[in-house]
Structure formats: C-alpha cells, structure tokens
Amino acid sequence: MSERAPEGPRAEPVTFIKKKDRREFLLRFGTGAGIAAIGYQGAASLRSLVPNVSYDAPTTVKVGLPGDFPDGLKFLPDLRLFVFREGKIFHAISAVCTHLGCTVRAEALPQAERRSVGGQELRLTHRFLCPCHGSRYEGDGTNVYGPAPKPLAWYQLSVAPDDGQLVVDLAGEVDNDFRLTVA
C-alpha cells in the first residue's frame, strides 16, 4: 500500500486569482471615479451660489484737474472722449461713432457758434466726422449725415471729492442738457 501525502491547503489556480484582482480593481476604480464626479459636481453647484467678482475696468475714471483742460476741446484718446470747457462749465461727448463704433474726428469750425442745446446755450467750436463710412455729427453730437443712427453719447462728469479731479462716468449717459459747473 502506498502512502499518500497529507493534503494541505489547495492552491487556487493562478488565472482565477488574476480575474478576481482585476474585478476588484475595476470595482474600486469605478467607485473612486464616481465619488470624484459627485464631489466635482457638488463643488460646481456651491460655486454657482457665490456671486461672480467683476474684473472689468471701472466705468468712472479720473481725467485730470479742471485747470488741465483748455477752453474749448480736449480729446482723451484712451477713453475716446471729448471734454469741452467754456470757463467753469464742462461737458463730455463720446468719440465712438454710433454706426459701427469707429472713432470720430473733431474738426474745428471756422467760427464758433452759439446754439441752444437741451434748452441751454452752448458754444459749439467743432463738428465730428467719422472716417469709416462718412457719418457727420454737429458740435453737440447730433447726427446729421451718413449711416449713424443716433447722436454721439454724452457722459456724466463730476468732481472727485478727494482731489478735485474731473471724473467721467462712462456708464452714465446723460441728456444733452447736462453741464457741470466747477467752482
């Protein structure tokens, strides 16, 4: 009679172990990816509750002391803005053509004229021409020729309380009866 070797724990086949490991790995990976996706979604939902901070350029801009402005017109190219001064009285007109947004050019009138604008007398020293498609505007910004559909915008001016500079509000369009009188 031959003796049989005592039976030990039977080793599982290698292929079975590999399949089991792979299944476990895929299960864990899938669970992890699911949790990450839910976390991301949650964070995005919370973020949507926080108001967005605007990094746009401010619309109110200091443009200098009143004394820096000559009588007549001064063009501020960065703002595409004309600031007019007549003694202590100021007003500002946009240089942005109301047709397609080109910058209009100021052309000095041969002779300044006085006209009632917005119910108040105004001395007009210039008129405006658009080099793109030929629109023309009078000195108060009224469109008189070409494809421009409306007058040039007038913007609100004020005096900064801290240093006395003129401040233009590029989001603050005003009617053409606006005048700022500086003390």
Gyration radius from the chain CA atoms: 36
Tokens of 25: 């790995």
d(C-alpha 166, C-alpha 158), whole Å: 6
Among 76, 80, 142, 146, binds ligand FES (CB under 6 A): 146
- As measured in angstroms, the least distance from the Cβ of 93 to ligand FES is 15
Among 83, 92, 117, 130, binds ligand FES (CB under 6 A): 130
Q: Which is nearer to ligand FES, 148 or 166 (CB)?
A: 148
Among 124, 132, 167, 182, binds ligand FES (CB under 6 A): 132
- As measured in angstroms, the least distance from the Cβ of 128 to ligand FES is 10
d(C-alpha 108, C-alpha 19), whole Å: 88
**Residue 61 engages ligand FES in binding (rule: CB under 6 A):** no
Q: Which stretch binds ligand FES (CB under 6 A): 53-61, 75-83, 86-94, 130-138?
A: 130-138
**Residue 143 engages ligand FES in binding (rule: CB under 6 A):** no
Among 63, 148, 153, 180, binds ligand FES (CB under 6 A): 148
Among 35, 133, 145, 160, binds ligand FES (CB under 6 A): 133
How many chain residues interact with ligand FES (CB under 6 A)?
12
Q: Which is nearer to ligand FES, 84 or 128 (CB)?
A: 128
d(C-alpha 152, C-alpha 96), whole Å: 7
Query: Residue 10: is it exposed, middle or buried by C-beta count within 10 angstroms (0-12/13-18/19+)?
Result: exposed
- As measured in angstroms, the least distance from the Cβ of 81 to ligand FES is 16
φ, ψ at 116 (rounded to 5°): -80, 120
φ, ψ at 181 (rounded to 5°): -105, 125
Burial 68-103 (b: 16+ CB within 10 A, else e): ebeeebbebeebbbbbbbeeeebbbbbbbbbbeebe
**Residue 96 engages ligand FES in binding (rule: CB under 6 A):** no
Footprint on this chain of ligand FES (rule: CB under 6 A): 97, 99-102, 130, 132-133, 135, 146-148
